Amino acid sequence: MTANPAAVGLPDMQLTPGAPFGVYVHVPFCLTRCGYCDFNTYTPAELGGVNPDAWLGVLGSELELAAARLGGPTADTVFLGGGTPSLLGAERLCAVLDTVRQQFGLAADAEVTTEANPESTSPELFAALRSAGYTRVSLGMQSVSPRVLGTLDRVHSPGRAVAAAGEALAAGFDHVSLDLIYGTPGESDDDLRRSVDAAIDAGVDHVSAYALVVEEGTALARRVRRGELAAPDDDVLAHRYEIADELLRAAGFDWYEVSNWSRPGGQCRHNLGYWDGGQWWGAGPGAHSYVGNTRWWNVKHPNTYAALLADAALPVAGFEQLDADALHTEDVLLKIRLRRGLPLDLLEAAERERAAVAIADGLVVTEDERLVLTDRGRLLADAVVRALLD
């Protein structure tokens, strides 16, 4: 592994035949920093040189280098995340997709997703994105409770996410996701119920629900450390997960990954690639990539990112090549989280014996020669992984 941004070169790598290939684009811009967020994002006051137009130019340089390095594989999926991609506006978002299309090409049935914050969207934005070839929108909703949104430092009004989802659907998007966070200090069971019900009533075909994690270095962590807010309680988080799961399943959603539910056909194919052996090039400051057995990550600061690309150098901060043991660990760690489960033939003899114990404990079951988490097992997914591998 290496970490000197000015000196890093990627090793030779080969795309794994038959594995889906995606392009992830990291948009590092946010108007404000949410108190719980530790993503690689920057507000205007934190950037001295790179603005959205300059970023778009250097992003094109990275994608051109990426296509040349990999031989231009066709992209099955494209995902713009951040940050706040919707801050770029329709013209720049369409330009990003045009660049990906030009450098890699898109499969005929390609899934093209952008994340969006509700306060920076409009019917006109969604109409332009749909016309340009975007097929999916993922909106950050978090909650409909004003006090929860306030604790999380979210700036959109409680009803704006649902309204934005309606605008995306009206623009012709068949696939719209709303993302929830549960376990925020001060949240009640009823707050979560109202939020899940609102997401269901919005008519979307995908809902993600994530337990709040207090990340070191965030404003939220400092408030918890000072005693202003209580840290999330594991038992409360488990109970909230059960509430969300019950409501979503009763409304026709089913889980396909521990934190993700969809109506039939609504799964996010790009994210499935992360969990199920896909490959992707991550472009943008701080983005991570994975091809063959090589994982690498870009330099984080947009100014450093731009400087390296100005010298026609890939903006790589470090890389690692996974050996057979590491690849096996990742297979178990990721595939067990999926509703389709972990193929039993991937398990070694000792792991099969441990799986039998987990089955007896009611954490997993076997379905079609796969190991699948039970409802209780989903609450203890990390412990199930440790039990299988240790």
Q: What is the CATH number of the domain that holds 180?
A: 3.20.20.70
* Whether residues 41 and 128 fall in one domain: yes
366: CATH: 1.10.10
The amino acid present at 186, given as its one-letter code, is G
* Whether residues 201 and 341 fall in one domain: no
Give the tens place of pLDDT for each residue, 116-159: 999 999 999 999 999 999 999 999 999 999 999 888 887 777 89
Whether 315 and 305 have beta carbons less than 8 Å apart is answered as yes
List own/partner pairs for 119-123 with CB under 8 A and 24 or more apart: 119/155, 119/156, 119/160, 120/31, 120/84, 120/86, 120/87, 121/86, 121/164, 121/167, 121/168, 122/167, 123/167, 123/170, 123/171
Tokens coding 97: 């997709």
* Whether residues 267 and 368 fall in one domain: no
Give the tens place of pLDDT for each residue, 324-345: 999 999 999 999 999 999 999 9
Q: How far apart are CA 377 and CA 16, in angstroms?
A: 31
Whether 112 and 94 have beta carbons less than 8 Å apart is answered as no
What lies within 8 Å, CB to CB, of 65 at 6+ separation is: 309, 312, 314
Give the tens place of pLDDT for each residue, 172-231: 999 999 999 999 999 999 999 999 999 999 999 999 999 998 778 888 778 888 998 888
Number of domains in the chain: 2
Closest by CA position to 255, among listed 247, 194, 327, 296: 247
Give the chain's mean pLDDT. Answer: 92
Beta pairing partners, 373: 364
Tokens coding 209: 């629900």
Range of the domain at 374: 324-389
* Whether residues 67 and 169 fall in one domain: yes
- Asked whether residue 312 is assigned to any structural domain, the reply reads no
